[in-house]
Structure 1
Amino acid sequence: MRDATIIPASESERIAAVRRYDILDTPPDGAFDRITALAARRFGVPISIISIVDEDRIWFKSRHGVPVEQIGRDPGLCASAILADDPYVLTDASVDPRSLANPLVAGEFGLRFYAGVPLTTADGHNLGTLCVIDKEPRPIDDAQIEDLKDLASVVLDQMEMRLAARRAVSKAELLAKEIDHRVMNSLQFVSSLLSMQSRSADVGEAAHHLRLAANRVAAVAQVHRHYTFEGADVTSCIAFLRKLCSDLEQVLGQPISVQGDEGDVPTTAIQPIGLLVNELVTNAAKHGGGTIEVGYSVNGGVHRLSVCDGGKGLPADFSLAEARASLGMRVVSVLVSELGGDLRAGPRPDGSGACFTISFVPGAPRPSTLQ
């Protein structure tokens, strides 16, 4: 007699297969729910379940006609059904010696009919069952059993497709990381070439501009380096800024202070934020003086990013609109527009130096304005 308490010798391999499909405790899925509804209609029974047998429980991926999400493994008929590859059928559980002592049969639930087909993987592991249940005894013919087996095959096909999709996504993510790594290395290589060229004896006055270009490319490489979030939808902006500015300090050879609030932003906003900070910090290092101050605050849903320096400040007739003629400010303008933000420029709160401040609402793009 098969019993739910019997654990096959290959149980560890079977549990590993269950883990491989990563299906336990996943949300309801319409594709599986349609299969259980169809099975219940085909057999004219009130209950149909797609079960996955875990180490100590039977979890229901789809359940038609029952409110519970799982039961213990010991009393579960599905745990018995996975012990063999053939369908497990009880036409009248109240007189079948295999189920007389089962709590689902002898107890209040009053199960009388059970037909379960194992969900068998290509490598021979039974993950669980597709089963139909009734509280009344009933016959079952070969055609119905074949129908149940076909529906079980559809269940496994769905699981295989989801597994293949997850593997494809994983491969794509690995490829993206490899591309990111190569892009960063390429940027660092270009920066090194520019730096080497700036030290050549024959470049003359171009040496200064080559060094600036080398620093700018190296800074962009650092932005790229920290743009990895393992599939997260949001991330801490201040944490990203601290890591980025720590690297920019090394690249630019100028102290950078980062202060601000904790606040999550969409990961899609991090790259333009990083490139903005890179551009504004590079400009501050070139034209300003003292410690560069990077600030980040959140107030009423509005995020503010600022880059300030302790230099001589902006000219009295400075205009952001006119400043857009320079390449740097054109880059800044495009990035601010990508965030749907507003850019302002002026002195620091104490009246000294220069501050550039971007205000934006994550997830709510709006036209960019320069003031």
Structure 2
Amino acid sequence: MTDASIIPPSEPQRLAAVRRYDILDTPPDGAFDRITALAARRFGVPISIISIVDQDRIWFKSHYGVSVKQIGRDPGLCASAILSNDLHILTDASIDPRSLANPLVAGEFGLRFYAGVPLTTDDGHNLGTLCIIDKKARSIDQSQIEDLKDLAAIVIDQMEMQISARRAVSQAELMAREIDHRVMNSLQFVSGLLSMQSRALTDADTVGHLQLAANRVAAVAQVHRHFYAEGVDQASCITFLRRLCADLESILGRKIQVSGDEGVIPTTSVQPIGLLVNELVTNAAKHGQGLIEVRYEIEANRHALIVSDEGRDFPKDFDPTAASQSLGMRVVTSLTTQLGGVLTSGHRPDGGTCLKVSFQVQPQV
């Protein structure tokens, strides 16, 4: 029986630590690649590897001098190296009783020299190793051993920094969601107060203005809710618009039809698009008639948001970007600028008004 086949009782806890660091099958990382390249140069060996020992495999986070990305756990010397906190050294594996039967030694690969330092976490679990390998037998002195240990400590430091960064991002996202949830609740509260105030008045014009303000605030709250429901880097704009407009229908009491091209956009663009739809649809509900249509079109990286209704056409001299326009149109102009887009007005073939915001979306890399 080889050392690698001996599974200690603490193996479940060790594997849990491997999962905690969330490093398995992650993309190449220059920080780790520089360490393996430095180790190979420092010790004059052709191969250097940062390995993570999984349940049934040894996965290479960084591999200098070999192209293979993982091997099975059974023949792996790294699986033996993690059984102890000491350096695992084979100066001539062809005559060392611990490795005579190892296929990496006896087989075509012809491994002769191996020195591996366990990558030990703060709570005492060995995730894998930093190892150096040669196909020639060689010795290693104490100063080199200390250097290899220091490099292994740098590997662990790098892994700790990455897990700390992920935790910080997660906490920041959680805090942002909590803040936005409170903002949404506050907006809904303000909307409710405005609606209550409108019901307490008798002047029809004042009531109308207060109810419009209440609807606008309620709609903005829904934009916030749907924006943070995405929780990803990219989102389907049509899916977002359908959910948002379903809420706007109930708030405004108007039928809204959503159509257009399927496609994803960065979530950084979702919120201004949602606020644009909110303003354009609210304006259409106030000034237009009949069915309100929201259409989203995508051609290459050029996107267009079109909101139309069945009311009267705009006047021939209508300029949607003019400073003298209403508050709603000034908000629309500002959001269009935020997207780096262009706002234009037009008319539907079957009669009615139409506002279009076209903008460019850079593809995610």
Q: For this structure pair, what is the TM-score category when the shorter chain's length is used for normalisation?
A: over 0.9
**Which position in structure 2 is the counterpart of 1:37?**
37
Counterpart amino acid of residue 92 in structure 2: D
Relative distance call for 1:9 and 1:323 in structure 2 (3 A) is: same
Whole-Å Cα distance in 1 between the matches of residues 150 and 68 of structure 2? 26
Report the equivalent of 1:338: 338
Q: Output the CA distance in 1 between the equivalents of 2:230 and 2:74.
A: 39
Q: C-alpha displacement at 1:234, in angstroms? A: 2.5
2:319 corresponds to which residue? 319
**Residue 272 of structure 2 aligns with which residue?**
272
- 1:222 is aligned to 222
Return the letter of the residue paired with 1:84: S
Q: Secondary structure at the match of 1:227?
A: helix
Q: What is the match of residue 255 of structure 1?
A: 255
AA partner of residue 264 (structure 1): V
SS at match of 1:28: coil
Name the structure 2 match of 1:293. Answer: 293
**Given the superposition, is the C-alpha separation of residues 191 and 252 from structure 1 closer, same or farther in structure 2, using an over 3 Å criterion?**
same
* Cα drift, residue 353 of structure 1: 1.8
Aligned to 1:243: 243
Which residue of structure 1 lines up, in the alignment, with residue 353 of structure 2? 354
**In structure 1, distance between residues paired with 2:236 and 2:348:** 25
Contact 1:288 1:310 in 2 (8 A): yes
Question: Which secondary structure state, in structure 1, belongs to the residue aligned with residue 117 of structure 2?
Answer: strand
1:198 match: 198
Check conservation: 1:197, 1:203, Cα contact below 8 A.
Answer: no
1:1-371 equivalences under 5 Å are: 3-201=3-201, 205-228=205-228, 232-322=232-322, 324-350=324-350, 352-363=351-362
TM-score (norm 1): 0.93
CA distance in 1 between counterparts of 2:35 and 2:317 reads 72
Q: Contact 1:342 / 1:359 at 8 angstroms: preserved in 2?
A: yes
CA–CA distance in structure 2, aligned partners of residues 339 and 360 of structure 1: 7
CA distance in 2, matches of 1:45, 1:288: 77
Q: How big is each residue's C-alpha offset from its partner over 1:230-288, in whole Å with a ceiling of 9 and x where there is no partner?
A: 65332211111101000001111111111111122222111111111100100111111
Answer yes or no: is the 8 Å Cα contact 1:18–1:127 preserved in 2.
Answer: yes
Change over 3 Å in CA distance of 1:53–1:300 after alignment to 2: closer
Cα distance change, pair 27–200 in 1 and its aligned pair in 2 (3 A): same
SS class of match (1:320): coil
Q: Bigger shift: 313-322 or 182-191?
A: 313-322
Partner SS for 1:297? strand
Distance, in Å, in 1 between the alignment partners of 2:301 and 2:85 is 58
**What is the CA–CA distance in structure 1 between the aligned matches of 2:234 and 2:248, rounded to whole Å?**
23
CA contact (8 A) 2:321 2:329 kept: no
**2:58 partner amino acid:** I
Q: Secondary structure of 2:228's match?
A: coil
Q: Which runs of 5+ in 1 are unaligned?
A: 365-371
The root-mean-square deviation of aligned C-alpha atoms, in Å, is 1.8
Structure 2 unpaired stretches of 5+: none
Q: For the Cα contact (< 8 Å) 1:324–1:333, is it kept in 2?
A: no
Kept in 2, the 8 Å contact 1:238–1:261? The answer is yes
Question: What per-residue deviation string (whole Å, max 9, x for no partner) do you get for residues 63-98 of structure 1?
Answer: 121111111111000000001111111111111111
Distance 1:131 1:288, change over 3 A: same
Q: Deviations over 1:190-248 (max 9, x none)?
A: 10111111111476642211111000000111111111266533221111110100000
Q: Runs of 4 or more off by more than 6 Å in structure 1?
A: none
